[in-house]
Structure formats: C-alpha cells, structure tokens
C-alpha cells in the first residue's frame, strides 16, 4: 500500500474547487463589509424635527435637531425623539448588513455555524 497523501483523481480536484470557492466568498465578504461600513443610514423622528445619521460601523455620525423641537418644559420628549431616530438609523444599518450577507451567502445562515 502506498504511503503519503492521495492527491489525484476527482477528490483532489473537488477539494481545490471548494478551496477556490471559499476564497472567492471570503473576498466577496470582505468587499461587502467595507462597502457596508462606508455606507450611511439616516432616520427621522417627531415628524422630521430630529434626524440621526449612522455609519455602517454603527457609529452616530450626525444628529440634527430642529430648534422647534427644543422645549425646555419637555426635554423628555426631545430625548425620546433622539433615541427613536438613532435606533431607527441603527436598525436600517443592521437590516442592510443582513440583506447583503443573505445575498452573498444565498441565504445560508453562517451564524448557525458560529461564523
């Protein structure tokens, strides 16, 4: 019986093809991640008096508050509107990331594999 690794036949070709596909998927995932991180997502609250913009890295980039929204007697409402706008912008960023990954992986849930 021969010693060493079996490198020929269909199995070797299939393994190389799988490795190439995995490398391509990894490159595609890295590119998508860069694109998602560079993207900006905005959301408004209070009928547009508060606007939050977040990055794909889930960082708050800007927050615009219409002076009409500033009522010293009702600071709590302004705080609620800021939270609502920021949270909605973050949800948009997360949703975009999930949709992009689903397209890339064909809907295959990598999270189930711990990836």
Domains held by the chain: number: 1
For the segment 94-99, the average pLDDT, to the nearest whole number, is: 88
Task: Supply the CATH number for residue 62's domain.
Answer: 3.30.1310.10
pLDDT-based confidence at 80, cuts 50/70/90? Answer: very high
Evaluate whether residue 96 is within a structural domain: yes
Q: Across residues 93-97, what is the average pLDDT?
A: 90
pLDDT interval class at 109 (50, 70, 90): low
In a domain, 103, yes or no: yes
Q: Is the pLDDT of residue 42 over 70?
A: yes
User: pTM (2 decimals)?
Assistant: 0.68
As a whole number of Å, the CA-based R_g of the chain is 23
Share of the chain above pLDDT 90, in %: 45
Nearest to 94 by CA among 23, 51, 43, 28: 43
């Amino acid at each position: 019986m021969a010693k060493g690794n079996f490198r020929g036949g269909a199995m070797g070709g299939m393994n190389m093809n799988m490795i190439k596909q995995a490398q391509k998927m990894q490159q595609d995932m890295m590119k998508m991640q860069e694109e998602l991180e560079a993207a900006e997502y905005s959301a408004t609250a209070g009928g547009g008096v508060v606007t939050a913009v977040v990055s794909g890295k889930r960082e708050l980039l800007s927050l615009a508050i219409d002076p009409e929204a500033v009522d010293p007697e009702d600071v709590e409402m302004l705080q609620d509107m800021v939270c609502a706008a920021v949270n909605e912008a973050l949800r948009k960023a997360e949703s975009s990331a999930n949709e992009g990954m689903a397209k890339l992986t064909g809907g295959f849930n990598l999270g189930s594999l711990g990836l």
